[in-house]
């Protein structure tokens, strides 16, 4: 096919990154944006003076001038926007979490498969150069068999407002917002195993809202690794920035953010140097994600991360909320 024309739904922080990624990806062009009238339309006009501003979600998703749609809307709109776009024959990149629940996510996945369209889920840390370097280290067996991991999705002395703290719009709090990054990131590093058991404590301690701002999860995977995941907003301290992950192996240790590794006695530690990041959520991550989205469309194959990766994270989150409610571990079917 020729140039892939991409429409972006939502021009907040994430929508801007996606729009820039479209511009940075060969064979793609920004067809336009729909965004709420909350100042983001003005920001779009400033960033993309020649860009098209659509009148509605429906107008963008059904436009014959759009081949693919990026859904960067509140979580409660992911299902409807994605379903509409897929029904109209558009490929879709939907932000994390994939949907409000696994039932919605499963319907989205089935529709994409039926229509033979790409459905990508925005677990973007897989495209970070530092994550990819540590993944290669693990693949090569440099730290031996991974036994346990620790991962973090925490905001220190900060938390979001607006729809993020409205349960009917977000579907959850810090776990859905931040914990999902830690979950998918560690799963990528250890080879995408299947979760078999989840235990969690989740609560609200730092803010006046009806969603969670504190969570500690233990996930047991089918390859025998146990992962501890922490999520949070407004915490007075964090052991590492968003998606920071530690891996404890039988012959060594590796970490992302700060990215390093150490091995057996007498071996020098691995202290790699990477290009400076303009921001923690650096533009190169979104550029890599968009390049994979474009490649999946052109090659007629499922993107990675796609529905399987998105639904796996959602299953863990649902199990975590159930575990926190009941005080018991939740067994997950294969």
Q: What is the pLDDT of residue 5?
A: 98
| pLDDT tens-place string over residues 76-114 | 999 999 999 999 999 999 999 999 999 999 999 999 999
The predicted structure's pLDDT at residue 30: 98
Cα separation, 275 vs 261, in Å, equals 18
Q: Which is nearest to 80 in space by CA: 65, 100, 64, 59?
A: 100
User: Which of 120, 167, 174 is CA-nearest to residue 294?
Assistant: 120
Question: How far, in Å, CA of 245 to CA of 148, rounded?
Answer: 11
Check pLDDT > 70 for residue 169: yes
Q: What are phi and psi of 95, to 5 degrees?
A: -65, 160
Which DSSP symbol is given to 193?
Answer: P
- Please report, for the chain, the start and end positions of each structural domain, with discontinuous segments joined by +: 4-117, 126-278+314-331
What CATH number labels 4-117?
3.40.50.720
Q: Any bridge partners for residue 228, and if so which? A: 150, 218
Superfamily of domain 126-278+314-331 in the CATH hierarchy: Dihydrodipicolinate Reductase; domain 2 (3.30.360.10)
pTM over 0.95: yes
Residue 188: predicted pLDDT: 98
pLDDT digits (tens, 9 = 90+) for 198-231: 999 999 999 999 999 999 999 999 999 999 999 9
List the 68-71 sheet strands across, edge first: 28-34, 4-9, 68-71, 91-95, 119-122
């Amino acid at each position: 096919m020729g140039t892939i024309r991409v429409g972006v739904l939502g021009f907040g922080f994430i929508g801007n990154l996606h729009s820039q990624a479209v511009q940075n990806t060969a064979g793609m062009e920004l067809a336009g944006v729909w965004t709420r009238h909350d100042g983001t339309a003005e920001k779009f006009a400033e960033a993309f003076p020649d860009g098209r501003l659509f009148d509605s979600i429906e107008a963008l998703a059904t436009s014959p001038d759009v081949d693919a749609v990026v859904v960067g809307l509140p979580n409660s709109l992911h299902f409807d926007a994605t379903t509409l776009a897929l029904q109209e024959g558009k490929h879709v990149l939907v932000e994390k979490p994939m949907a409000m629940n696994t039932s919605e996510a499963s319907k989205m996945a089935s529709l994409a498969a039926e229509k033979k369209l790409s459905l990508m889920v925005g677990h973007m840390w897989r495209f970070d150069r530092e994550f990819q370097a540590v993944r290669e280290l693990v693949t090569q067996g440099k730290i031996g068999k991974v036994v346990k991991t620790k991962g973090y999705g925490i905001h220190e002395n900060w938390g979001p407002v607006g729809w993020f703290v409205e349960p009917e719009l977000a579907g959850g709090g810090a776990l859905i917002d931040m914990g999902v990054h830690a979950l998918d990131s560690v799963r990528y590093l250890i080879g995408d195993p299947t979760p078999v058991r989840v235990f969690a404590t989740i609560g609200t301690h730092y803010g006046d809202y009806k969603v969670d701002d504190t969570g500690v999860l233990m996930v047991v995977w089918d390859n025998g690794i146990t992962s501890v995941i922490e999520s949070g907003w407004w915490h007075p301290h964090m052991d590492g920035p968003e998606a920071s992950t530690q891996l404890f192996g039988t012959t060594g240790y590796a970490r992302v953010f700060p990215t390093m590794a150490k091995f057996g006695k007498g071996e020098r530690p691995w202290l790699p140097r990477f290009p400076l990041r303009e921001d923690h959520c650096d533009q190169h991550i979104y550029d890599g994600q968009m390049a994979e989205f474009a490649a999946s469309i052109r090659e007629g194959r499922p993107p990675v991360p796609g529905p399987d990766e998105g639904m796996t994270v959602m299953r863990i989150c649902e199990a975590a909320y159930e575990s926190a409610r009941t005080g018991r571990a939740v067994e997950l079917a294969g």
